[in-house]
Structure formats: structure tokens, C-alpha cells
Structure 1
Amino acid sequence: MGYQEVLQAAKQRMERLTKPPSSLGHLEEVAVRLAAIQGRLKPELGPGAVVVAAADHGVVVEGVSAYPQEVTYQMVLNFLRGGAAINQLAQAADCRVYVLDVGVKGELPDHPQLLRRKVRPGTGNLARERAMSLDEAERALLAGQEAARLAITQGATVLAAGDMGIGNTTAAAALTAALLDLPSDAVVGRGTGIGEEGLRRKREAVARALSRLRPGMEPLAVAAEVGGLELLAIAGMYLEGYRQGLPLVLDGFPVSAGALLAYRLEPRLKDYLFAGHRSREPGHRYILEALGLRPLLDLDLALGEGTGAVLAMPLLRASARILHMATFAEAGVSDRT
């Protein structure tokens, strides 16, 4: 049976389980979608994987971030040493962490969790020039696909992306505004905690980037003009995860911007997406609305790294188990009259 057929069969089974109708709320919708993705009425989720895509951004020279650019490199080292939030949360959620260097400035040390696929050491300044060439965008997309294949080959049954890149909420805002035809003011937030002057500069940078776009540009060309290398890699991860039939969990704003690009490249991917949480970044809400997704968590998170997605993985596993419940007939329990 195909996706829609299994979805309908799972909904029918859900109605016969030993519980009042809809008593498990949104988790019931998650459960039947997982069944449809896996093509079986009793879905099972095992280990997860989060691929943290890392890259630098030339736009930081515009004063759009509260942190200096070298923090990208330093935080990648922290990921590899196991000292970051994503490492701790992933350990609690039965999720393996991978790190993908697709554009970090500086050479990183060898590490078994590091996939080296540097396209270039950071993007151009999107406020004043094209972020990357179309060829570089395609290479970043392919790097993400390769990272997803590696994670799946090594046992991942549910896949999430994470992000690391000082300045990347600026790129995410520009990409989101471009793909959803929104003004810069609607999608630009405070990111790492910038003040009013930094927010003004960030809005101006995004507005300048959007002014270079031409009507009718293809999504990949738009991403090359205003996006980030890690955002392209994230899109590639989700495209590959969809092709291999895995549930795909979104994190916050930059990751969701990458997923939005993946959706524009492959609309059928939307059926495989789950929103891990709702970020406090304003642009995130527009992406979730465009994808028709309801967040599993709403905890005022704004860290990134894949943390919100990983926190949602135990909920996905719990949702999958719902369809393993007995029906009224199987349990010999009287149904409603």
C-alpha cells in the first residue's frame, strides 16, 4: 500500500483502539503519519541521528550578530568534544551526533564524527554580493545528502538536522523572505541577542539581499544568492532522508529555512516532516504555516544546533507505540454504545 492508503488504514485502526476518540490529541496524528511513512500499521522508531551542518557567513561584517565569527569554529570543536547542548540532549534522546563542515573558516582536526565537505570557507556578504555560486550551492546540497546517507547507513531511523554558523539567522531570514515573498521586517529576529541597532542593521542587510532577486528565479538560484552553505546542506539532508523513507524532524529557524528550500525542490517531502518545536524567531512561524506543521514542543527555545528536534524524538517514539495498543475487539473491552 502507498502512503495515503496506509494513512487511512492507520486512522481507522486509531479509531478502534482502547481509548476515547482523540484522547491522545496531536500524538494520534503523529502516529498515523509515522505509519504511513513506514508503510505499516504498527510503526517502530529506533535510534535517531542529528547532522549539525556548520558554515560561516560573510554578512557578519555588517554587525548582525552578537558573537564574533570565530565562535563557529570554536563551537564545532565543542561539538566534537561532546561539550555542547546538542551532545547532552542527544545522549538523553538515543540520538547520534554528526558534524558536517560545509563552510567553516579554518581547518578542523580529524574526528570520527566529522564529515569534511567544505565548499568554501564561508559565504560572501549577502548584503552586498551573491552568497555563493550556483555550483557551490549544488555542492553544499550534495554534501548534505551524503551526510544523511552516512547517518542512515549507520542505523538512524529518524533524522534531524542541526545548524551552527554565526550570522546564519540573517541568511535564514533572507532565504525565508525570498521563498515566501515576505518583507524583511516580518522575518528578521534578534538571533543571538542583538540590540536595536544590530536589529536595524540585520533588517537592512536582508532587504539589500532581497533587492537583488529577480522574478521567476529557481529556488536553488535564490538560495545561492541569499542563503548559507549550511542551509543548502540541511536541504540536502532532508531531501535524502525523504528519498530513503525516514521521518524527518525540524529544529528552529535556520534548519526550517533549509527544509523550506528542500520542500520547494521536492514538494512531496512535506508529508515526512515533523516540527520539533516552535522557535521564538519570528520567521519560524511563517515557515511552519507554509509547511502546515504543528510543533510538538513550545519551550521558548532559540539555541539551534538541532536541540529542539532531538528533544522531540522521544515524543515521536512514544507516538509510534500508540498504534501497538489493542483494539476494543482484540482486548475484549466493550466499545461505546
Structure 2
Amino acid sequence: MKEFNLPLFMKVKPDALKELKDNLDLYFPDVIGKRILILTTDGLLQMLEKKVTLMLSQLKDYEVVTVESSSYDYAVSIAKKISMEGVRMIIGFGGGTALDTAKYAAFVANVPYIAIPTALSNDGVCSPVSVLFSKGNRTHSFTSKTPDGLLIDTDIVLKSPRLLQEAGVGDVISNYTALYDWELDCKYNHGQPNDFAYMLSERAVNALLYSNIKSFTSPEGVKMLAQSLVLGGLAMQIAGSSRPCSGSDHLFCHALDELFDHGLPHGIVVGIGTIGAAWLQKRDYRMLLEFLKEYGIDINPKHRGITEVMFVRAWLFAREVRKERYTVLNNMEMMPKRMREDMFKELYALMCRI
């Protein structure tokens, strides 16, 4: 029987940071007064000085460390520091760089991990995966620790760049196409289904698609987005893989990352990949477009700086990123390359008319 490590608490509200001590006292009494390591990124402490002061005032013995690089080697060095210096808990305060480093270090050192995200740009806030730079300066996904608790202060999130929240929405809607690809894997490639993980992932995307709140500029909108991202992360934890939230949509994103320096947030590229994947799956991509339009999210690849050459090359290469992952792209393996190129050019032209 599988065992799952799920969060003990999740607070999404204004001034959520005020509740740090109360939750530590309630769920981690053994950590009270013990050494805690806080990982963050450069400039964030100054930018959010009042919130940081509030957080630190609730702790006794702590050390703040600025993450030097989002790399595997650096995360391992933090894990060594935790083990050698008697650190009893790690808190990640920031975006993907701080959180991915913190949760991998917590996984290796086997200590509790609390996530305090300052933006909601992807489901990494609660996923059991860290994306870190490794050999050849390429990113790799590493099994990590799901947060033991989350504090999401809506005051902080609402001050983060809008582009990051748009990316969070893009990451959530990819569940729509990822679940379809997972079904294909189970049907044609002996993939292993998990009904509960499927339900959580579906619930995550439907909560956004069919909500009356079509905005993330209010505490209510932030809470809705946070809950969807967390549900996606929990779905991956239960499935034991990223299949509930990652299919051909993410393969397109990873391919674009490997081939080009585009500078776009993960969720924006995934959102573009999701529209493309839905079209390839012959499903209702227009419904997704209407949803994104209601949010004011521009998914036109040309507007995002992705040229036709970049778009076509990424889709052609996507199948090679993770050959073991069965998706709708496998259905095109027998097509001549020229035919696939023409198809992806047609898709690019379609998406540029959006």
C-alpha cells in the first residue's frame, strides 16, 4: 500500500504570514525553539521587508540563506548544511528557485518543509518535484518533498507581476490535455491509471474553467488559483508521477526550453502548448481560448515572441524529450516529417489569428 505525504495545513488569505507560529505550534511542537533554515532569493527580503519582519518575529532560532543558484549541486549543499548543523525545519520563501531548492534539500535531509510562495506561477508550489539545473546546464526533474504546510499570503501574491499569475493559469489548464494523454497511455501503452489522482487533477482545472471568478486580482481569485495549483500537485503525489498534469502540452514546453532561450515563464509556454495539444487531440480548444480570453491572457505565440520556426521545431522535437511518455504525439509517428511540419505550421497560423 502506498503512503502519501500530504500537507498538514494550507492557509490562503490576507496576512496569512501572521499564522506561521500558530501552525508550527500546532503541527510541529518538536520544532519550537529549534533551528530553522529559511531559503529565499536575492532582493526579496528588501522588497517585502514588512512581511519578512512579521515572519521572522515569530521564530526564535533561525538563519536566512539567499539561494545562490537553482542547481542540483547547490540544493545538495543545503541538505548537507541542514544535516551537519542540526537544522530541524526548512522554510522556502519566494518563487520557484527558492521553493525547488528548499523542497529538494528537505527531501534529502528528511526534515519538515513549509512553503511560503510569493507568486503562483506553476503547480510546483505543492508538487513532489524540483526542477534544478544539472549536468550541461540543463534542467532536470528530481523527486522532492511535498510541503508539510503552505502559507499563501494574498497580500504578497497580489503584488507579484501579473505575468506570473497568467503562467499559473496556463499550468492549471494543461491538466485538460494531460489527462487525455494519460488515458491514451493507459489504453495503448500499458500505462497505470489512478482514479483518485485523475479526479483531483480534473477538479483542479474545472474549478478554474467553470468558476464565476474570472480574475486573479482579488484575494478570492488568488485563493481559487492557489487551490487549483495545489490540487494538481497533490494529484501528482498520489499518482507517483507527473502524468495527471503533464502531457504533450509540457513536452512542447520542455522542447522549446531545450532548443531556444526564450525567457518566457513555464506556465505561459505550457498554456500555448495546451491549445496546440487540444487541437492535435481534436478536442474543444475554442472553449479553452474563450476561458483565457475572459482572464485577459494572450496565448498568441507570435505576441509572446515565439516565431513559426521556433514553434514548429519545438513540436517536432517534443516527442524526443521523454520518449517513454505516451501522448497524442505518438499517433503521428508514421507521418512523414514534411506532413508533420505542414500540420504544425497550420497550427501556428491558427493560433496567431487568435
Same fold (TM over 0.5): no
Higher relative contact order (CA 8 A, sep 6+): 1
- TMscore range, shorter length: under 0.3
TM-score relative to the length of structure 1: 0.27
Which structure has more helix as a fraction of its residues? 2
TM-score relative to the length of structure 2: 0.26
